[in-house]
Amino acid sequence: MKAGLLTIAALSALAVAQPHRPGHRHLHGKREVVTETVMATATAPHAVVYVDGNGNPMYTSYDNGRKYSHPTPNSHARPWAEENTSAAPEETTEAAPAPEPTSETSNYVAPAPEPTSETSSYVAPAPEPTSETSSYVAPAPEPTSETSSDVAPSPTTEAPAPSSTTSETSAAPAPTTTSTNSGSSGLSITYSPYNSDNSCKDQDQINMDMAQLSGYSMVRTYGTDCNQTATILNAARANGMKLFAGIYDISNVNSEIDNIVDATNGDWSDIHTIAVGNEGVNNGQYSVDDVVSALGAARSKLSAVGYSGPIVTVDTFVAMIANPQLCQASDYAAANCHAFFDGTITAQDAGKFVVAQAQRVSEACGGMNTMITESGWPSQGESNGVAVPSEENQKAAISSLKDAFSDNLILFTAYNDMWKQNNAGTYGAEQYWGMYGNAPSD
């Protein structure tokens, strides 16, 4: 599939962004969630024109003072058609077309070293693959079961331990090589602590929700509002999970870090990664320079308070490929990718699609280790080409993703996010990406 990202400051310069759409994606800040979309947008300070693959205008949305999101509190449709209330960056960049997979079991491979078998997996410089077909996995002990197709993984190991350095070339996550994906060991999941009326869930509600997710190695959050870093960290620790903590508002990064410092009380042992921003470049909310600057400020402040784990920014795979500076300023490449928003990928092929895009991200970032920080499928909504939302297809997509990844994948999302709102780019599915339906606390 083609993938492209274009940002334009005037409506007269309509451009086509190639599918991808993991794009949509969900903006995950509270009440600000968007989803990566396969559509390209041209933005102006007060309007967004959506166009098809031939550059023909499809519809226009106007700034009404609110942000919309799709998956993510989660970020699904990123370029998803989120209304953009800020001017787009001046530069225009288009990602190169995605290479066609060479086999049905095409795996995530870094550009080097050269594989020694017909099909090898994504490896940090060696060891050599041990079988002709291998999967993208992180350095966790080998799972004990051969393959799991359930929607809910039951990993037996924790996520890889954070790196002990704050340098920009940190090797976390550090994938190794094994044979095909065995079970769901090491997989992670996203979670947002909001009730359907947008109010904040309390510790008891979060404990109830998180108890059902105890089989995962890590949980990802998107912001610090609702005191969620502290409450979700408490629940994660009780269930033997790490926390992938998010900073949503990078314009106030120092205050956001203060919230995280207070939540951890100086104990960083259960913080796997701290993410500064989520799809801000893809959404036109921030420039690449804004994000890189915020990463630098966060790195300096976090180092001063004793944090030595990975620090990254998260964006759509399209934005990462078009702007490798984002991953180069991070300790590893962190990209959201949703096959649903591409429109040409069926649920059964979601895993192959996401693996191919992870490989493209790694190559664009000079062979960096890559984590897919969001990927899932909606259970309800309107069809996007051959991508059809349904409970059956959601299960098929999750199974496909689990077959493609043994680690370095964060599934989106734990529960339906009824607090979110749909827009023209979310296919009526924004609230329905929850792998476990509605949250127990709802």
pLDDT, tens only, 317-346: 999 999 999 999 999 999 999 999 999 999
- CA dist., res. 354 & res. 107, Å (int): 10
pLDDT at 52: 52
Query: What is residue 186's predicted lDDT score, i.e. its pLDDT?
Result: 86
What pLDDT is stored for residue 156 in this prediction? 33
Distances (CA, A) of 56 to 16, 39, 222, 235, 370: 9, 11, 34, 48, 34
pTM over 0.95: no
pLDDT digits (tens, 9 = 90+) for 53-99: 555 554 444 343 333 333 333 333 333 333 333 333 344 344 444 44
What is the amino acid identity at position 275? Answer: A
Question: Within the chain, what is the greatest distance between any pair of CA atoms?
Answer: 57
Residue 123 DSSP SS3: coil
pLDDT of res. 165: 33
Contact status, residue 206 vs residue 232, Cβ threshold 8 Å: yes
In the chain, % helix, strand, coil (3-state, to 5) comes to: 25, 20, 60
**What pLDDT does residue 432 have?**
98
Sorted by sequence, the CB contacts under 8 Å of residue 136 that are 6+ apart come out as 107, 108, 121, 122, 175, 355, 358, 404, 405, 406, 407, 408
Compute the distance between CA of residue 3 and CA of residue 355 in angstroms, rounded to an integer.
Answer: 14
pLDDT given for residue 26 in this prediction: 56
List, for the chain, all residue ranges whose pLDDT scores fall below the cut of 70: 1-185
Sorted by where each starts, the structural domains of the chain and their CATH numbers stand as 137-412 (3.20.20.80)
Residue 299 corresponds to which tokens in the numbers above?
A: 């790195």
**Catalytic annotation, residues:** 374
- The answer to whether residues 430 and 412 touch, using CB atoms and an 8 Å cutoff, is no
Q: 57 phi and psi, to 5 degrees? A: -60, 135
Q: What is the pLDDT of residues 404-432, one digit of tens each?
A: 999 999 999 999 999 999 998 999 999 99
Residue of 66, 87, 71 whose CA lies nearest to 23:
71
What pLDDT is attached to residue 424?
A: 87
Q: Which of 338, 337, 331 lies closest to 368 in space, CA to CA?
A: 331
